[in-house]
Chains A and B, each alone.
Chain A
Amino acid sequence: QKEVEQNSGPLSVPEGAIASLNCTYSDRGSQSFFWYRQYSGKSPELIMSIYSNGDKEDGRFTAQLNKASQYVSLLIRDSQPSDSATYLCAVGPRRGGYQKVTFGIGTKLQVIP
């Protein structure tokens, strides 16, 4: 069983729509959760981190965490063609703990103009 699971996609959404990206994880002791964006041929870039159950909003991005269901998601409102990229979910231990995170394979998002 993979530790962090994501659908590889591609997920295609029209411009202006809401894109919903999902991730599940297997380790119930996980305490830190991250979303990275990776453009083709480029390096990953951190866009959201979330540590508590519920929603966290930053501009057009909202991260949602449900530890009971071991589920984390990323919503992108008013999707733009520039949002087309692969989105990596990463899961880590408690703050200050063993310094390692586990990445999913990523979901490729295509925003259609």
Chain B
Amino acid sequence: NAGVTQTPKFQVLKTGQSMTLQCAQDMNHNSMYWYRQDPGMGLRLIYYSASEGTTDKGEVPNGYNVSRLNKREFSLRLESAAPSQTSVYFCASSDGPGVTGELFFGEGSRLTVL
């Protein structure tokens, strides 16, 4: 099983450019999440989707949008990239409810904004 698959793995953008990070899971999980990880800051939740058709903001949603395309797919869009969005982005999924903290992570997407 592939688990959680993210694309792309690496991306370099110029300030103001837009891009979409794609995420798909094949575990039939209900909940999906987008986190960013920065040195000294830990993992911070950007957006999450508790079930197909719903999305909610996390701790750091500014500058991002998400789409829960179907039960398998959850995308993260940067409309106008800024250097502060340079980070490693992780998509995760969980069965939920009842196992909400038991997350399965994708391999990560390393984004650099110049």
Contacts and interface: CB of A to CB of B under 8 A. Distances in A.
Q: How large is the interface on B (under 10, 10 to 19, 20 to 34, 35 or more residues)?
A: 20 to 34
B42 A43 contact: no
B96 interface: yes
Contacts of A112: none
A8 B107 contact: no
A101 B42 contact: no
Interface string B93-109: 01011111111111110
Given A88-B42, A105-B42, A43 B108 contact: yes
A88 B105 CA distance: 13
A100 B101 CA distance: 7
Given A36-B103, A46-B104, A99-B97, 9 more contacts: A33-B101, A43-B90, A95-B97, A96-B98, A99-B96, A100-B45, A100-B48, A101-B100, A103-B44
Interface of A: 4, 8, 32-34, 36, 42-46, 49, 88, 90-93, 95-97, 99-101, 103-106
